[in-house]
Amino acid sequence: MYVTMSHWEASEMTDEMIETMQTKFMPMIKSLGADSCFEVQTSDTTVSIVTVYPDEATKVAATEKIAEIRAQGADTFSATLVKAEEGPIVANMN
């Protein structure tokens, strides 16, 4: 499995923003071949989006669309992408 994490900051996090993430952006991310994705609220003004892909090849194939979704999210929420990270899962316990 392969994971991407994007860390975002906005002036505020509202219930409307979270609803929009759940109903609009999460389905867009899943449609790129992700097994799952999560939005984690890390403070009053920050969230991290964690996306799990079955493998690195699936993520690589989705790279262009991921950039488009991130740009659209930045515009929609007036948010700033603080940092993006990615890598393989090296240990797991379900």
pLDDT digits (tens, 9 = 90+) for 43-66: 999 999 999 999 999 999 999 999
What CATH number has the domain spanning 2-88?
Answer: 3.30.70.100
Does residue 94 have a pLDDT over 80? Answer: no
pLDDT in tens, 4-45: 999 999 999 899 999 999 999 999 999 999 999 999 999 999
DSSP string, 25-90: IHHHHHTTT-SEEEEEE-SSSEEEEEEEESSHHHHHHHHHHHHHHHHHHHHHHT-EEEEEEEEE--
Question: For 38, how many CA atoms within 13 A lie in the half-sphere containing its CB?
Answer: 7
- Its pTM stands at 0.90
Residue positions counted in the chain? 94
Q: What is the mean pLDDT of residues 63-87?
A: 94
